Amino acid sequence: MPKVTFKTDLCKGCGLCVHACPKGCLTIAQDKINQKGYSPAQMLHEDKCIGCAFCATMCPDCIITVEK
């Protein structure tokens, strides 16, 4: 199973990764605020992740790492 990690302190919650995910695995946290004052992206359905890394490719701040 792929492992997806986020540097949540650097995430600005733009949502590009959420829209890029073909399986709908990601979401923007509704209950968390990072150090910059944004709601960061987070994994919603880790079991559905196929490790395609579209999320990491779309992230303008390079805060997502995908390991297979």
Per-residue pLDDT of the chain (68 residues; tens, 9 = 90+): 899 999 999 999 999 999 999 999 999 999 999 999 999 999 999 999 999 999 999 999 999 999 98
Query: Helix (H, G, I), strand (E, B), or coil: what is residue 16?
Result: helix
- Domains for the chain: give ranges and CATH numbers: 3-67 (3.30.70.20)
pLDDT at 1: 86
H or E element that contains 43: strand 41-43
Q: What angle do CA 20, 31, 53 make, to 5 degrees?
A: 20
Helices (H), 1-68: 16-20, 54-58
Cα 66 to Cα 34: distance, rounded to the nearest angstrom: 21
